[in-house]
Amino acid sequence: MGVGEQFVTISAVILGGLTTHLTNALAERGRKRHQLLTRWDDKKLDAYAGYVDRIRASIFLAVELYEHREGLRDSQRSEREIIAEMADAGRLRGRSFERIMLLGGDEVVEAAHELNTATLRIDWQALGKTHGTLQDWRELNRTAFRAINTFHDVARADLGVSGSVTGAQHPERDLLLPPPAGRTDPA
């Protein structure tokens, strides 16, 4: 075997080794990038789900207080107990909101702001800081649940989940309300 043939052989081995190294390095880089994105997606999913859970808990407490104050429902707890639990729920909701601010994309953060505002309006009327009719109260709740659906949609998009929870496939639903006293059909 001549020097030229040996040179070609050595060059081919070196080129093959470099190509293998480069291919492995790019594959490893892509794998690490995918792991990082997946890790952040897991944290985002936890943050988004936790935030909606805290929002719903806050709304349900406000509903309990409002209905108790308005004589629509008896509560096993005093107003003071419900108000204290609402304060705790509001604090936890605020912490969840901060996680959204840290992890969410622009549209998610904006949807969270809208949802937070809608929920605060419910709290304020339940606590008597603002006043309104039963119809006003129900509209505040409708607005909050529409904001939850909007938050779901933008969070799903941010996580890369296809589909939506609103739109033609999922028409808007109204509040589920018990029938007025004396009626058996839901109105």
Give the Cα separation of 136 and 118 in Å (integer): 13
Where is 105: in which H helix or E strand?
A: none
Integer-rounded Cα radius of gyration of the chain: 28
Number of helices and strands in the chain (H, E): 4, 0
Tell me if 49 is assigned to some domain: yes
- Both tokens of 126, joined, read 């339940």
Tell me if 47 is assigned to some domain: yes
State the pLDDT at residue 40: 77
Question: What digits encode the pLDDT tens for the residues 124-183?
Answer: 999 999 999 999 999 999 999 999 999 999 999 999 988 777 665 556 666 666 666 555
CB-based contacts of 172, cutoff 8 Å, min separation 6 = 146, 166
Query: Among 114, 70, 64, which Cα is nearest to 89's?
Result: 64
User: Taking 90 as the threshold, does the pLDDT of residue 84 lie above it?
Assistant: yes
Tell me if 6 is assigned to some domain: no
Tell me if 23 is assigned to some domain: no
Tell me if 170 is assigned to some domain: no
How distant, in Å, are the alpha carbons of 38, 47, 140 from that of 51? 20, 6, 19
Average pLDDT, the chain: 86
Lowest mean pLDDT among 38-47, 85-94, 167-176: 167-176
State the pLDDT at residue 187: 47
Tell me if 15 is assigned to some domain: no
State the pLDDT at residue 20: 82
User: Taking 80 as the threshold, does the pLDDT of residue 8 lie above it?
Assistant: no
Tell me if 122 is assigned to some domain: yes
Number of domains forming the structure of the chain: 1
* Residue range(s) defining the domain that contains residue 113: 41-159
Tell me if 123 is assigned to some domain: yes
CB-based contacts of 101, cutoff 8 Å, min separation 6 = 109, 112
